[in-house]
Amino acid sequence: MGRNKRTKMVAKSTIEEKIKEVQNYFVNKIMAGEFEIIFKDSRFFVTIIVDSKYRFMIWTANSYDPSSYLHPYDGIGKYFMQLEFSDDQAASLKEIIKTKLS
């Protein structure tokens, strides 16, 4: 394996690790309730902002029912990155969002 190929593999691995680190940072902030809801689109989406700068659109699966599936969605607008939540985190986040909307 040539040096350039090895360097690219290490760089890709390092980048992927950094991306995962950043994703975890935001998931942890969101799960701690450290965000503001800046837009609520009927029953389908809420847009949140973390650190007064980074926006995420959260699909609430057509309702704010905690048993509904929750998914971050990055397909519309200027959003920072896709985040992945475990099923337990999704259920907890659904309650956090519901409380913030009350």
The tens digit of pLDDT for each residue in 54-69 reads 888 887 765 555 444 4
User: Which residue from 55, 45, 52 is spatially nearest to 101, judged by alpha carbons?
Assistant: 45
pLDDT at 60: 72
Q: What is the Rg, in whole angstroms, of the alpha carbon atoms belonging to the chain?
A: 16
pLDDT at 73: 54
pLDDT-derived band at 72 (thresholds 50, 70, 90) equals low
- Count CA atoms closer than 13 A to 32's CA, side-chain side: 9
Spell out the domain ranges in the chain. 3-101
Question: Is 90 exceeded by the pLDDT of residue 29?
Answer: yes
Residue type, 86: S
Mean pLDDT of all residues in 33-42: 86
What is the pTM (predicted TM-score) of this model?
0.68
